[in-house]
Amino acid sequence: MNFERLRIRLIMAFMLVSLVPLASLGYKLISQGETLIEERASSYLNGLSKQNAGAIREFMLERVNDLKHLSGMICMLDPETAVLAGHLEQMKDRVPSYLGFFAGDRTKNIFFSTRDPAMDPLLDQQAVTHTWMGASFTDIFAFPLGEKKIPALVVCTSIAATPEKNCTRLCAVIDFRFVDQLLRKSNIEDTGEVYLVDDTGRFLSASRFGARALADTIAIDLSDGRAHGLHEIRDYRGEQVLQAYQRVDTFPWYVMADQDMAEILNRIRNLGREAIIYGLLTALVVFGLALFISTVIVNILKAKYQYEKELEFQVIQKEKLASLGLLTSGLAHELNTPLANALLYTQIAKEELSESGDEKVHQRLATVIDEVRRGSTIIRNLLDFSRHSQKDDNTTDSNKIVAKLMDITRPHCGAKHIRVTAELEPAIPFVNADASTFQAILTNLVANAVEAMDKGGVLTVKTRYIPAVKKIKIEVADSGPGIAPEELKKIFDPFFTTKKPGDGIGLGLFVSYEMARKLGGDIRVISATREQAKRPGTVFTLELPAAQDVL
């Protein structure tokens, strides 16, 4: 039994059973992790766009409320008084987002301004685009501030006019850079940004990566008319981004919150790398456990296997001795005859040594030598079959073993009037079995055949090679009475025997069958009784794998 191969198979089976469910679970978790990362990024971008759109609306609502509060004061004050000018200057100082205020009538005549009068016409050139909360708004435009221009817009609210006062509206110039600062606080990670555009795609605030307010544009598709959405597009830099947009309530402005897909996917890749590292560590731990457990199991099996081999060895030896015991009576007779002749001729040679010449003495002595050699050969064959060595080669010449067994069997069979014939196919391959085991199986089959023919008969042993299946077949046939069908079914069962009580324990064929199966072979039997055929008899066929092809 190949215990190392068993160890490897146990390790592979253990890892397969352990790692396949873990791999399935890991794949599921990674897939869910990827989905969660994408959903989290989408949700976060949507939240940023809505949050900033709300903040811009609150910013504009505060400006409208400021103007309404101031307009109520103007109704009670003379626009040209220093009190009103001082009050508006305080408002500018308190709220830095105001660049200036001016008041006028509906004919665009300006009665009062907190800025240089030379700049007043520039302020009034901005046309009103829409109204909200009782106030009117212009588009965002480039407002001159020193040597540079900044984004700004004009917000106006009505003043309740009186016959004495023609002033009917109050306007404020709002620095839109404060919205830009508000949006910049929401920049996310390394590539995420939030900026504001109008419905034509013109930037109303500067972007994180260099887009200029009122100078650069971005291609946007608002053909579906939705106030908010999420899509994956290429941005103004040419980068693939996940972008969420949200319209600012009542204004033609859209807050855009986007993040590079490369950064989002990088999180997914990091998750995948962590999963691979975790998987490798898990596989290493599983392999260590599998190696330990398989080693323990193999050691236990090896100990049991050695114990069973020892028991099997003892049973084989007992069965072999029992089989050889059936042959000892014939062997005793055959050994007795040559030894008696040797003794006789030796005595004659001694008597004739003094009476005649040397020629007759030499002939007698030659006969003694032949007879002694004959007895020696028989004894040697018997010893060969009696020995058992666990160091035998794994291949055996089946013809040679059969020939030796026939030499031992013939004397005993001759005494029982059994004719022995052997038909050995020449040049067949060796069998893939050690000599001792092969001898034990074959001896048991021959001994059973001899026992079956207590009134004489024919014992036939054949060997042949079947190239198609690469098997060696050894047939042991007897002309005995045969085996009844009901007994034939149990012929290989342990402790089943057809012998008389005390003649056997029924382990011979069982042990032989088990040994043949362990060698990768088989034992088959066919039998016919006198009731079934004119010529009864039994044929046992031993099949063993060939060690090599026919040379």
Q: Residue 516 is part of a domain; what is its CATH number?
A: 3.30.565.10
Looking at the domain assignment, is residue 299 inside a domain? yes
CB contact at 8 A, 539 and 459: no
Q: 3-class DSSP state for residue 502? A: coil
Residue 161: predicted pLDDT: 56
pLDDT in tens, 278-292: 878 888 888 888 888
pLDDT tens-digit map of 112-129: 677 655 555 555 556 677
Q: Confirm whether 524 is domain-assigned.
A: yes
- Residue 232 has a pLDDT of 87
Structure token pair of residue 101:
């205020």
**Domain region containing 119:** 33-176
Q: Where is the domain boundary, 176, 195, 219?
A: 176
User: Which two structure tokens, joined as six digits, stand for 87?
Assistant: 């009050």
Phi-psi label, residue 242: left if phi above 0, alpha if psi -120 to 50, beta otherwise: beta
Does pLDDT of 539 surpass 60? yes
Considering the domain architecture, whether residues 539 and 402 belong to the same structural domain is answered as yes
Q: Do 218 and 155 share a structural domain?
A: no
**Whether residue 17 is found in the same domain as residue 56:** no
Note the pLDDT of residue 389.
Answer: 47
Domain CATH for 192: 3.30.450.20
Measured N-to-C along each axis, helices 3-74 and 261-325 cross at an angle, to the nearest 10 degrees, of 160
Residues 121 and 144 in one domain: yes
Please report where in the chains the tokens 């190696």 appear, as a residue: 291
Q: Is residue 171 part of a domain?
A: yes
- Does residue 54 form part of some domain? yes
Instruction: State the Cα angle at 114 between 135 and 57, rounded to 5°.
Output: 30
Q: Are residues 275 and 172 in the same domain?
A: no
pLDDT at 14 over 70: yes
Q: Per the structure, how many domains does the chain have? A: 4
Rounded mean pLDDT, 103-109: 66
Given 128, 160, 176, the domain boundary residue is 176
pLDDT band at residue 429, thresholds of 50, 70 and 90?
very high
When pLDDT is cut at 50, 70 and 90, the band that residue 85 belongs to is low
Q: Same domain for 99 and 63?
A: yes
Q: What is the pLDDT of residues 338-366, one digit of tens each?
A: 666 676 666 666 666 655 556 666 666 66
Determine the average pLDDT of the residues in 438-458. Answer: 88
Q: pLDDT digits over 125-178, tens only?
A: 566 777 888 888 888 888 888 788 889 988 988 876 554 555 677 888 899 999
Average pLDDT, the chain: 79
396 pLDDT more than 70? yes
How far CA 489 is from CA of 475, 483, 523, 526, 532, in Å, comes to 19, 10, 13, 11, 16
pTM over 0.85: no
Do 165 and 67 belong together in one domain?
A: yes
CA neighbor of 128 nearest in space, from 141, 118, 119, 144: 141
pLDDT tens track for 399-426: 998 998 888 888 878 888 899 999 999 9
Q: Are residues 250 and 157 in the same domain?
A: no
Residue 134 one-letter amino acid: G
Same domain, 460 and 480: yes
The answer on pLDDT for 550 being more than 50 is: no
b vs e for 124-153, b when ≥16 Cβ sit within 10 Å of the residue's Cβ? bebeeeeeeeebbbbbbbebeeeeeebbbb
Residue 361 lies in a domain: no
Residue 542: pLDDT band (50, 70, 90) is very high
DSSP state of 394: S
Q: What are phi and psi of 237, to 5 degrees?
A: -90, -5
How far is Cα 218 from Cα 205, in angstroms, rounded to an integer? 12
Of 19-23, 214-218, 335-339, the one with minimum mean pLDDT is: 335-339
Averaging pLDDT over each range in 92-96, 181-185, 546-550, which range is the top one?
Answer: 181-185
Cα(84)–Cα(189) distance, integer angstroms: 47
Give the C-alpha separation, 351 to 371, whole Å. Answer: 20
Residue 407 lies in a domain: yes
User: Are residues 550 and 492 part of one domain?
Assistant: yes
Boundary residue ending a domain (117, 149, 176): 176
Check whether residue 154 and residue 299 sit in a common domain: no
- The percent helix, strand, coil of the chain (3-state, each to 5) is 50, 20, 30
Q: Are residues 404 and 546 in the same domain?
A: yes
> Given pLDDT bands bounded at 50, 70 and 90, which one contains residue 472?
very high
318 found inside a domain: no
Question: Of 12-26, 186-200, 257-271, which gets the smallest average pLDDT?
Answer: 12-26
Q: The tokens 């221009």 sit on which residue?
A: 149
